Chains A and B, each alone.
Chain A
């Protein structure tokens, strides 16, 4: 694993801010499935913990981000906007290729 403890701590707080922002956006929306996913995202983030290290922490942060993406997708869908596509942000990834894409 290449992520340092500082990377993990930074990711934790960035995700925390993201989830807080999503929670505010969801307050005025009637999307129960998204609320459920947001709850799972928060749970995964808390499991990762702010000071935890190692692959387990990274895995839970990844889960939190995945749930967050699903909620963002639900919000965009409700507004009639195009779906979020990770491929649009490919240039920001340091991985060889974007690990997921819209399949269907």
Chain B
């Protein structure tokens, strides 16, 4: 069962700005489109599809499947300011590993929104009884790496020239893992 009863959830940033966190719904297509357009190029590197195409975003919004990917948006008025998505496998050997992707609007960085999104995804990871959260970040995104580490993610590897951005330039990939509370109870070695 997906633990969505905590939404909409109000949060307050360091500058006292208030916003709500809630799962994305199909009607968020416009807001998500505007949000993605303001992101710097490097933040869009991980997408498998061209998010500069509006029809791609509209298709995402129509095909939301919370069991596979649960996107939580930070919304102020009608503006999307951030998103954190928890990707899960329903079956298979990685079904207890959740993959995390976080995006923050450039004009709302350094206010604690990224950290709030990490707190939220840790909470969801615990509620889904995951054993690990996994985050992959391009090494240049140092603020994100530091925030993840401060929230309990451990850097497990840096892969040199491992990923390419949308222009084909290579970047180092930082992989971080967050062990969840249920893990210790299950370990058998």
Contacts and interface: CB of A to CB of B under 8 A. Distances in A.
Contacts of A104: 104, 109-110, 112-115, 143-144, 146-147
Contacts, number: 69
Interface string A67-90: 000100110010011110100000
Interface stretch (B9-17, B72-80, B85-93, B157-165): B9-17
B116 interface: yes
A2 to B, nearest CB: 25
B14 A85 contact: yes
B152 A80 contact: no
Nearest to B129: A32
B126 A83 contact: no
B119 interface: yes
For chain A, give the interface size range.
10 to 19
A24 to B, nearest CB: 20
B114 A83 contact: no
Interface string B119-145: 110110111000000000000000110
A102 B12 contact: no
A82 B14 contact: yes
B11 A77 contact: yes
A103 B137 CA distance: 15
B112 A102 contact: yes
A80 B116 CA distance: 10
The 10 A-B residue pairs with the shortest CB-CB distance in the complex, in nearest-first order: A104-B114, A104-B147, A32-B126, A36-B181, A80-B10, A33-B122, A83-B112, A104-B143, A103-B143, A82-B12
Interface of B: 9-14, 16, 18, 104, 109-116, 119-120, 122-123, 125-127, 143-144, 146-147, 150-152, 180-181
29 contacts: A32-B123, A32-B127, A32-B181, A33-B125, A33-B181, A35-B181, A36-B180, A36-B181, A37-B152, A70-B151, A73-B115, A74-B119, A74-B123, A80-B10, A82-B112, A83-B14, A85-B112, A100-B150, A102-B110, A103-B114, A103-B143, A103-B146, A103-B150, A104-B110, A104-B113, A104-B114, A104-B143, A104-B144, A104-B147
